Amino acid sequence: MDNMDGLEVTDCTRCPDLVESRSRIVNGTGPADADMLFVGEGPGEQEDAEGEPFVGRSGSILDDKLREKGLARADVRITNCVRCRPPENRDPTAEELEHCRGYLEAEIELVDPDVIVTLGKVPSEHLLDRDVAVTSEAGSVERATLGGAAREVLVCVHPAATLYDRSQAGTFDAAIEKAATIAGDGASGQSQLGDF
Ligand code: URA
């Protein structure tokens, strides 16, 4: 892809609405060889302002949960289905998701994670290519061909869901715990803060 330099999309004007609403392209963050890849929906206001995924309120919830499980944000890779902020934080359209798909596939192929964690309904349905009832399916692992290989995809609720529905906090906790276990069991082994 000529507008991608390694893991970074350097220039893209495929989605007119998003080109209009974004301040910048928000690429994934974290090690290029992370064992765990989190995939969100798309940048929000804070992410668009800072140029990094999950740096707003949802990001703090994710960071706190990772820390609780002995993981550091810096050890995992975090990205989104679309890299440009949709207007008024609306869901990305099917066309926008499709436009950004190649970048996500390339990122998955390069990072080659042990587990891909989908944060919320949009990334879960996008990567599993089916309807997903996120709350009831959270914590389930399914294999899907992504980035040129069969991958383990773990469905998870969006971190923000724990804010407006406290009952989702336990669901979120259990899913992240499971992701940490899968990545920890992987060949290269996720480093745990407790190891140091
Ligand atoms: N929600 C998302 O889905 N992605 C972000 O980057 C931030 C919030």
Ligand 1 pocket, Cβ-based, cut-off 6 angstroms: 40-44, 47, 53-54, 56, 58, 80, 119
Largest CA distance in the chain: 47
Burial of residue 160 (number of CB atoms within 10 Å: 0-12, 13-18, 19+): buried
pLDDT tens, 44-81? 999 999 999 999 999 999 999 999 999 999 999 999 99
Q: Contact, 26 vs 44, CB < 8 A?
A: no
Q: Which atom of ligand 1 is nearest to the CA of 26?
A: 6
Q: What is the mean pLDDT of residues 139-148?
A: 97
> ∠ CA(153), CA(117), CA(165), 5° rounding?
120
Domains of the chain: 3-188 (3.40.470.10)
Its pTM stands at 0.94
pLDDT of the residue at 188: 52
Q: Which two tokens stand for residue 148?
A: 């040129």
Mutate to test the pocket of ligand 1, among 18, 119, 156 (most ligand atoms within 8 A of CB): 119
